[in-house]
Structure 1
Amino acid sequence: MGHEIYLDNAATTPVHPGVAEAVMECMLHDFGNPSSLHRMGLRAEKKLKEARERIALALGVDAEGVFFTSGGTEANNLAIIGTALARKREGRHCITTQIEHPSVLNTFKYLEKEGWEVTYLPVNRDGVVSPDDVRRAIRPDTVLVSIMHVNNEIGSIQPIQEIGRLLKAQGNSPVFHVDAVQSFGKLDIKPVQWGIDLLSISGHKIHAPKGIGALYMRKGVKIHPLQWGGGQERGVRSGTENMPGIVGFGEAVRWLEEVDRDYLYRLKGILVAELTEKVPWAVINGPPPEKGAPHILSVSFPGIRGEVMLHALEEKGVYVGTGSACSSRRGHMSHVLEAIGAKKDVAQGAIRLSLSYLNTEDEMRQAARIIEQCVKELEGFVRR
């Protein structure tokens, strides 16, 4: 097999070489516990502070509002359950959308079992929720609204700024949580200006290691901790900090400051143009490519199952996804494609191509050629 082309970056990204070096340095030389009072501990504490400040700077928030977690899933759980528990005397109604990541949807399903009521808002064919629907769903007992910034399967971008504005116009406004795992590092997001109270991000989506994430919490917002221990992260998330992961997260954010944010859209444009020319009957799911996230493209080849296409491409060195990596192994129809009204054969034929800053323009052209080749081979097999 020749050069491999990795196009499953929405599932996870390769660790950037500079990030790997920083992580290794931390593990071998700066391995102290930041809670220790000796020199090694103080050195670790300094690195912890630097990473927190780097992430805060990228978000345009105060560093004391950034709390490290084990990843995006924990950040989402902490935001949702933590808010529900902290505000249960004010109300037990929450609002989200039908196309959220499983770490959000399944957390709300848990709350429903515990006595909360959840409204799951629909989206249009582009996978976008209506701010008017959000406004109409708000009740006096609504304590939390949780809406993702970028959908992980089809790349739809939600009108977060408009939703934040309308929520703040409410008298006793609900807490506004945004899952920004897929948008952080790719799109601008401004928690303070957009009225976001809680925001989840993850390291392994931006070329940092797995097992590290963060939750931004606006000053004055209260959440109930989900675990108890030594009081690290100011009591919000106890447990000895994952210093190699935190250092890697900070280094990845530092590297992203230097990249050209338009690069991903250029890559996506090349990929779409090549695919449209080579396989004109392919169906693009969700928003028009130029209106979606710069790094996610969902495309279907009706008549060819997505997992069959995935493995055919894998045999030729191209790695893609079929949806959320957290749930794609279960084999059921994508809840996201179902929510946007995709026909069964379209939904079953979907693959997700997701890009990173480490991909190249030539890889986009090569991938399109290989996809065309696989489609022709599989079409012939289906006809036989």
Structure 2
Amino acid sequence: MENPGKGILRGQRLRARGAGSNTAGRYEATTCEAFDDGWTDEDEPPRLIRTEVRIERPRSALNLVRSPDLPFDRSINPYRGCEHGCIYCFARPTHAWLNLSPGLDFETRLVARPGIGAVLARELGRKGYRVAPVAIGTNTDPYQPIEADHRVMREVLEVLAAHDHPVAIVTKGTLVERDLDLLAPMAAKGLARVGVSVTTLDPAVARAMEPRAPAPARRLAVIARLAGAGVPVRAMVSPVVPGLTDHELEPILAAAQAAGAGAASWIMLRLPMEVAGLFREWLEARFPDRAARVMARVRETQGGRDYDPAWGKRMRGQGVHAELIARRFAVAVARLGLDRPQPPLRCDLFHVPQAAGAQLSLF
């Protein structure tokens, strides 16, 4: 009997998921395949594959980042995995470290890290700590839907606000609006800014590519809400998918600027490790008429491969098509006034809050 996808049993049903399979991670000694043993009741209604959330008690909060392609040296991950289910997500391979699949497991078997706020407070209070902006949302989205219940990002933000610690957030999630009571005062001090990812303005493409992320119009509304509260917002056209969304570059930037974004950036589609196979599988299922053309254009920007991980190339791509996108972006942001650099986040206000009952300093 035919299975709907690797690792998916007959009688299981997907709804609003990005990946169509659940192949074992690269570190597994064995590979599991879904197998129908014939005991499935033909009349039994399909069972949805639902989101599961496990709890991890974090031992550390700050991650050191040593990438020359990135403008920060530390980050925080409130969650592992992401329910948004973006098929292109470069963080999918990290789920293999948990003995889980970068496919459906990445978006259905999530890990929340409550208590990370207390761990972060201890790390910020260490004598040798040197302050610099911390990035959140660069791996998985801190404002994905499960944040409504687990509030781990809220924990982190409360600690950063109490220490006057600078933070740069990347998200697609609407829950960032909930935290404006913290973000707006931090932004007024020069301590916070937010990047909002808008990959397409086409609701149908967005629904297929980012099935549980907010619709494009809703993300533009988030930009407007943040900007209206005085929070600096950067529109992130990330990733640009050659042959699928690259024609929308200028309209996305114009819509974001009209909503209140003050800066913009872009990143080329990246397909590291298992992401390449998942993306090709998704293209064949969702856009069979253009799958071959899209992958040909992707390889054109990656030196003939699905992905070139070389520093300096992986974020922008290479070749004529990549250069054309870069030039189009530069012209558009200059025309829209989105090419001005955002002011650096302040580090001089950082302090460790006085512990309750502690003796006050004489000076």
TM-score, normalised relative to structure 1 = 0.27
Higher normalized helix content (fraction of residues): 1
TM-score of the pair, normalised by structure 2? 0.28
Which one scores higher on RCO, CA 8 angstroms, separation ≥ 6?
1
